[in-house]
Structure 1
Amino acid sequence: LFNDYMMVDENKKSHQMDHILVCSKGVIIVETKNYSGRIYGNELQTQWTQVLKYGKVKHRLYNPIKQNNSHLYQIGKITKKRYPLISIVIFVQGNTSFIQSKQVFSPRSAFHYIQSLPNLLSEEDINCVSNLLIENENKTITLQQHVQGIRETRLNIEKNICPRCGKPLILREGKNGAFYGCSGFPYCKFTKKC
């Protein structure tokens, strides 16, 4: 189990993962959230809504599934996608009733979900993945540097620069309307809504 795992990619961007569990079930990347109130959202929405004080107070939060998908992408690069990667988001307070996703769990349901998964990794695989994670962990970056990197990433996205590969985002037309997609497609599949 790796807690508060920090790494830096080839573009010098930092990535912090709450937990990475390497076990016989696979490589499980866990994003934990400790929000109170009712949380509304689904897998496709960029922003979710936290509702407090009987609906009198509302806050927006970035979709933690999308956040964890970027973590999956980074771990996939480290492992060269040779091992099964599993994304789960755990809401510590268990307030998942209004979230429409099969990747979001309360702590108890996450435990049962992980137990239900088939065994996919051998002891040798577990050691190999663990060694790759140890080799790529960056213990020198500070939280302040990581937060500054997040701010820079958001600015780049606003300027239509891909946060994954640094290439320009270009306006494209899809079946659901216009969107910005990475010019590095099909190698990079980053998109943002118009």
Structure 2
Amino acid sequence: MAIAIIASIILVFVLLIYLEVRNKRLLQTVTNTNRGTNSERNLVLRLLKLGTPAVTIFHDLYIKNPNGKFTQIDLAVATKVGLIIFEVKDYSGWIYGTGYREKWTQVLTYGRNKYRFYNPVLQNKKHIEDIRKQSSQFQNLPFFSVIVFYGNSEFKDVSFIPKGTYLIKPHRIRRVLKTILNENPPAKYTNKNEVVGILKAAVENSNSTKTQTQHIKNIENMLGNHRIFE
């Protein structure tokens, strides 16, 4: 009996190592194992395991705007119906918000603690607006916005989510992909190589420390926290 138990433990341990190695290799077909957040990398893996081709997934993009500033996008997927832009969030607690209001609310400890955060629907809408400016072709391509909430959160009262925008938990990714791909006509790409080239260049931008530093400074300047003295 003891030998059987030990053998079972060893088997489970070997299986876990095998799965870890397999996931790592699968992830590396798209991105580095230390790039972005754990949740972003988990989303990449989910997409790959659902059959999304690795060459169509672009992780951690930095889009350069005409003013020289950068817009950071968590994930973009090129599909037959257009581009899907993902925004990944990590929150716990109850989530309250409407699609058109600037601030949403996170409620913790049964209402005793409340925190405001920027509306992710508007945030990803801005990401799409910025990426559209990269090419005249993008002006006419369909874009879909998917905001994925990781963490132990619950959409307590969220409403007025615009058409073409989806707010989901990670386990619903298959459902939303199926909805987008099945309910929309094929996109009229005029130059697929241009699309891939722009998205690849945006991924390469994030390899630059200077780019990341500038992006952080842009966010700090926008928030203005460094101009508050208490």
TM score, norm. by length of structure 1: 0.71
Report deviation, 1:75.
Answer: 1.0
Q: Secondary structure at the match of 2:91?
A: coil
* Higher strand proportion (structure 1 or 2): 1
Runs of 5+ unmatched residues, structure 2: 1-56, 225-230
2:196 maps to 1:130? yes
Gaps of 5+ in 1: 156-194
1:23 alignment partner in structure 2: 79
**What do the CA deviations read for 1:95-125 (whole angstroms, capped 9, x no partner)?**
2342212531122334312212235237875
| Larger CA Rg, structure 1 vs 2 | 2
Which residues in structure 2 correspond to 1:33-44 (within 5 Å)?
A: 33-44=89-100
Q: Name the structure where helix makes up a greater proportion of residues.
A: 2
Aligned to 1:47: 103
Amino acid at match of 1:132: I
Aligned to 2:215, what secondary structure does the other structure show?
Answer: helix
- Which of 73, 78, 89 is 2:134 aligned to? 78
Structure 2 vs 1, CA of residues 136 and 92 (structure 1 numbering), >3 Å: closer, same or farther?
closer
Structure 1 residues 121 and 128: alpha-carbon distance in aligned structure 2, compared to 1, 3 A threshold: farther
Quote the Cα distance in structure 1 between the aligned partners of 2:213 and 2:92: 25
Counterpart CA distance in 1 for 2:106 and 2:192 is 37
The 2-side partners of 1:66 and 1:122 are apart by 26
The alignment status of 1:98 with 2:157, answered yes or no, reads: yes
- Cα offset for 1:28? 0.6
Match of 1:107 in 2: 170
Whether the 8 Å contact between 1:24 and 1:126 is mirrored in structure 2 is no
TM-score by length of 2: 0.60
Q: Distance in 1 between matches of 2:168 and 2:72?
A: 20
Count, aligned residues? 156
